[in-house]
Amino acid sequence: MEAIIDLLNPSTTTGSLLIGIISGLISGLILGFFSGKKYETNKFATKGNQSPIIHSSDIKVNTHDK
């Protein structure tokens, strides 16, 4: 246990580097989580009055024309 405390000592170069890497990973996870939630709520395209745009693209071709 004391070896971990010595390894994460911010007074040393290795300790401060490891603390920076760990904190960067944690903040990246937090930002990624909240960015993903924002994408899920805003993934539908909307018009100016915030009503969703419905794309109905059923194209039917009658191949039996004379």
The whole-number pLDDT of residue 4 equals 85
Residue 12: per-residue pLDDT: 92
Q: Which stretches of the chain drop beneath a pLDDT of 70?
A: 37-66
Q: Where are the domains of the chain?
A: 13-40
- Reported as type and span, the H/E element at residue 45 is none
pLDDT tens-digit map of 44-59: 555 556 665 566 666 6
Residue 34: per-residue pLDDT: 80
Q: Is 56 exposed, middle or buried (0-12, 13-18, 19+ CB in 10 A)?
A: exposed
Would you state the structure tokens that stand for residue 5, as one six-digit string?
């405390």
